[in-house]
A and B are shown apart, each in its own frame.
Chain A
Amino acid sequence: MANFILRKAEPKDVSDILRLIKELAKYEEMEEQVILTENDLLEDGFGDHPFYHCIVAEVPKEKGTNGFTVIGFAMYYFTYDPWIGKLLYLEDFYVMKEYRGFGIGSQILKELSHTAVKTRCSSMHFIVAEWNKPSIEFYKRRGASDLSLEEGWRLFKIDKQSLMKMMAEE
């Protein structure tokens, strides 16, 4: 079984975080859509007001693949429900293929649950693509409910172009 530790991400982790973001995007065949840079991640996550938080999973140097010791991560932030208050929102969650099946993912989720409870969040929210059956099963086994199915919620986006158009309107 793999020895690993989980810890809060530090500024020096931004290269690994970006690498893992790209690996996960590649799995969804969307790698070219990742336009974020290490500099963005540094400013946005480790400045005065962090816009996200990360946990990283690390293995000892000799167990690393191609020199990589950071082999998994979870990115999250806090959102707000006007009926119940603070929520923990899980944005990205990924463990490198070579390190799956060792309970690292479960441990990360346990750590996130602990963080959520400690910071007095009412629940954890996240989105999953409807075709991603393994992830849906992973979360359902841990008690997740599909709010889109139960309550009919649909996610919408107004992109930059449309925002600029609205801004310019009389």
Chain B
Amino acid sequence: MAHYKLRKAEPEDVTDILRLIKELAKIVEKEDQVMLTEKDLLEDGFGEHPFYHCIVAEVPAEQQKVEGYSVIGFAMYYFTYDPWIGKLLYLEDFFVMKEYRCLGIGSEILKNLSVTALKSGCHSMHFIVAQSNEASINFYKRRGALDLSLAEGWRLFRIDKQCLLNLSAEE
């Protein structure tokens, strides 16, 4: 069984974080839509006001299955706010490299996030999953996740930058 450890991401991890973000995007064939750079990740995650937090999963050099990479999984999260119940932990991205799956690393990351959520006074954890991603949906449902879109009819909307610019310029 792989030895690994979970730890808070540090500034020097931004290269690996970006690599894993792109690997996850590649799975859904959207790697070209990743515009973020290491510099963005550095400023946005490790400046005075972090816009996100990361946990990384790391294996010792002698356990590497893919040469050169010791950071083999990550979870990106931040805190959101529900006006009825207060703080929530929002899980934004969650990925373990293919070569390291089924070793309990994903479960351990989720457990770590649960501890963080409860320690920070969060009421629950929220996240979105594509309805086509049955494997992830089952992973989360096995851990007690409830589909709020199904149960309560919530739909996610976006107003993109062009429309924001139009709206802010209107008389």
**Chain A contact residues, CB within 8 Å of chain B:** 21, 24-25, 30, 33-36, 40, 44, 49, 51-52, 75, 77-86, 89, 91-92, 109-110, 113-114, 116-117, 121-131, 136, 139, 142-149, 151-167, 169
Contacts and interface: CB of A to CB of B under 8 A. Distances in A.
Interface of B: 21, 24-25, 30, 33-36, 40, 44, 49, 51-52, 76, 78-87, 90, 92-93, 110-111, 114-115, 117-118, 123-132, 137, 140, 143-150, 152-168, 170
A158 B118 contact: no
Nearest to B37: A85
Nearest to B25: A83
B81 A169 contact: no
Q: Which of B24, B154, B167 has the most CB of A within 10 A?
A: B167
B33 to A, nearest CB: 5
B124 A124 contact: no
B159 A85 contact: no
A78 to B, nearest CB: 6
A152 to B, nearest CB: 4
Given A83-B36, A142-B167, A51 B158 contact: no
A159 B156 contact: no
> Which of B110, B137, B157, B167 is packed against the most chain A CB atoms within 10 Å?
B157
Nearest to B89: A163
A84 B25 CA distance: 12
Contact of B124 (A139, A154, A157): A157
Given A33-B84, A80-B92, A122-B161, 17 more contacts: A25-B84, A34-B83, A49-B49, A51-B81, A52-B81, A83-B35, A116-B164, A124-B159, A127-B154, A130-B153, A142-B167, A153-B128, A155-B154, A158-B124, A159-B146, A160-B118, A166-B143
B86 A167 contact: no
A158 B150 CA distance: 14
A128 B40 contact: no
Given A116-B164, A159-B146, A85 B36 contact: yes
B114 to A, nearest CB: 4
A167 B107 CA distance: 10
Nearest to B17: A82
Top-3 shortest CB links A-B: A162-B144, A143-B163, A154-B149
